[in-house]
Amino acid sequence: VQVPRDRNGQFHQHTLPGYKQHSDILESMIIKLYSKGVTTREIADLIEKMYGSHYSPAQVSNISKQMIPK
């Protein structure tokens, strides 16, 4: 597939949504489980067993950091 190019580099395709690696629903569930005291390793194992999506404990930790106010 050839991607059209323009001189200014401002082309944005609108036919397909942008690639998204993770689901918003799973991320909100990760945050809820983490706030209940479930460890990142346990959350990663649960997500993989229930949904087949692989999240490493480090990814779970990064997602759970979203709940900490800045």
CA gyration radius for the chain?
17
Instruction: State the CB neighbour count (10 A cutoff) for residue 57.
Output: 14
27-66 pLDDT per residue, tens: 888 889 999 999 999 999 999 999 888 889 999 999 888 7
2-14 pLDDT per residue, tens: 766 777 877 777 7
Query: What letter represents residue 26's amino acid?
Result: L
How far apart CA 28 and CA 57 sit, in angstroms, is: 16
How far apart CA 5 and CA 24 sit, in angstroms, is: 31
What residue spans define the domains of the chain? 24-67
E strands of the chain, at which residues?
none
- The answer to whether 43 touches 51, Cβ cutoff 8 Å, is no
* pLDDT above 90: residue 68: no
